[in-house]
Structure 1
């Protein structure tokens, strides 16, 4: 007898707030969203722009905003889509009906959790976990990186606002590091 099991959705960071460092740093669970991994040949990407409601960026690290969400170019033929739930409902079917070029769309919403890091000390806080020069990272860009030992996608909205997308299995580790860094910033260490 074959027995089916449902995958249970879980968010590891619910209910564990990090105190805000008054006027300097805020670390919070980012608003939840639907997440998709999209693969398509670079020459065919424009065929998905209209059905998605977002023009897929053409350069690695590019971020496009539209349809209430974001498209992040993470590789030559790879995009990450962060969309509101209502825009994501039936997305695969809509794209399949509207697009004639080969593509792959995988729902990865169960895999990741978002963390919002903001404030004048946001770059300092993240720099303590990341080897990238975040001051040199352009606003409105995204990259894969390592935070301590955890793979993550880092989105820099502007000089004081970042979003981390990290696998749920590493989320508690990253959250704990941000908690320690937040305390150090509060103490001016």
Structure 2
């Protein structure tokens, strides 16, 4: 997920729209989590906010029986999941077209996120992720490094979130 689609002008926060990716919403009972994870080739994390990665596939635990799976476009995870369905009944839904991802990075990224996100992003450990809100839009925020985040946004909210990000970036740049 490091390929960028567009990049906006430089400032204390760099904003990049990442290339499309396969996104799957997975629901499976906790007792069947390990079997399904094995079929998908990674250990599905059990703790909400925890992430796991293997072979270019990332899994984020969003709830006790809910995961977001992200992989490069063209990855086939449906076939291995289907192969274990009898032993691990589950719901696996392709939500790839529903969202876009922005990478937000730079020395003022925590200030930008704090301006519109009620979650204490400074307290999010590197390597964690969470479903939260950015202003009024539900987003998934991935903390990839101390000053490096990804934000998954529903396409319908993307213009609103981009506008807020641009406004806050201008305010941060003016304050420097």
Q: TM-score, normalised by structure 1?
A: 0.85
Aligned to 1:94: 80
TM-aligned CA distance change 1:176 to 1:16, over 3 Å: farther
1:95-110 residue pairs with structure 2 within 5 A? 95-99=81-85, 100-110=87-97
Query: 1:39-89: per-residue Cα shift (whole Å, max 9, x none)?
Result: 0011210102222122111100001111202101001100001111232xx
Aligned to 1:40: 28
1:55-134 residue pairs with structure 2 within 5 A? 55-87=43-75, 90-99=76-85, 100-134=87-121
Partners of 2:31 and 2:10 lie apart in 1 by 45
Aligned to 2:161: 174
Partners of 2:106 and 2:162 lie apart in 1 by 17
Correspondent of 2:16 among 19, 28, 34 = 28
Native 8 Å contact 2:6 2:18 kept in 1: no
TM-aligned CA distance change 1:93 to 1:69, over 3 Å: closer
Native 8 Å contact 1:18 1:179 kept in 2: no
Q: Confirm or deny that 1:145 pairs with 2:135.
A: no
Q: Confirm or deny that 1:19 pairs with 2:4.
A: no
Partners of 1:128 and 1:120 lie apart in 2 by 15
Secondary structure in 2 aligned to 1:45?
A: helix
Secondary structure in 1 aligned to 2:132?
A: strand
More helix by share: 2
> Where does structure 2 lack aligned partners over 5 or more consecutive residues?
none
Q: TM-score, normalised by structure 2?
A: 0.91
> Where does structure 1 lack aligned partners over 5 or more consecutive residues?
1-13
Query: 1:107-130: per-residue Cα shift (whole Å, max 9, x none)?
Result: 000111111101121111111110
Aligned to 1:11: none
Runs of 4 or more consecutive aligned structure 1 residues displaced over 2 Å after TM superposition:
14-18
Aligned length: 172
Secondary structure in 2 aligned to 1:131?
A: coil
Secondary structure in 2 aligned to 1:29?
A: strand
Aligned to 1:54: 42
